[in-house]
Amino acid sequence: MKKYFYLLLSNIFLFIIFPIIRLISKKFYEKNILPKLINFTCNSGPINYQRKKIIPNANGKVLEIGIGPGSNLKHYDNTKVTSILGIDPSEELNQIAKKRADKYNLNIEFLIESASNLSVENNSIDTVVSTYALCSIPEPEKTLQEIKRVLKNDGIFIFSEHGLSPDKNVSFVQNITDSFYPKIAGGCHTNRNIEKLIFDNGFEFIELNNIYLPGTQKFLGYNYWGKAKVESK
């Protein structure tokens, strides 16, 4: 009963209250409500569990795209990671991430810029991390090309993303909600085929897993996670 009450309440906020607030004042919504919404969502139990699976695999010089509120920071192994460069276009989320970073012994630098146009040298990164970022980046193909550019020859791309479900009923809902959901969720698209995006942009999978995240609505909860490397030529 508690589960269904929570589901009903979250849907009321997601599909009624938040859209009304955004309609009244887009600037107020995006500056004051959206960063808190993203921070809350990105630190939910099921998503944090996915982060714990992949982030400890990062090593060496790390680039995290869409670092957002810094939800991954507590999961990095500082005995394996030499430095972290966190990229995000949001100043509001950047401030949250900086406060969170103070809690951890990490060598980290933050840059406010687009992941599709990185100011990072070619072949300079050991690990690129993307968690729940490819869904909202405006140009995911360009971003993946940038990831290829900055990765060293033996570099690894580790990811955990939500996206298009293979189930027809769920993907039908995803395609419908995608017409309005990005407007209230910081550009987050529910129906991107993450596996196809990564593969089509010149990566080969070292590991790829899929699951519906427990406790998450199916249209938001189909998860892809794993590791990839630049395709051998």
pLDDT of residue 16: 66
What band does 12 get if pLDDT is binned at 50, 70 and 90?
Answer: low
Average pLDDT of the segment spanning 87-111: 92
**Residue 123, pLDDT score:** 96
Show the domains of the chain with their CATH numbers. Answer: 2-230 (3.40.50.150)
Residues whose CB falls within 8 Å of the CB of residue 200, separated by 6 or more in sequence, listed in order = 141
pTM: 0.90
Q: What is the pLDDT of residues 108-121, one digit of tens each?
A: 999 999 999 999 99
Sign of CA dihedral 180, 186, 190, 191: positive
Confidence of residue 2 (pLDDT cuts 50, 70, 90): low
Report which of 138, 146, 139, 91 is spatially closest to residue 113, judged by C-alpha positions: 91
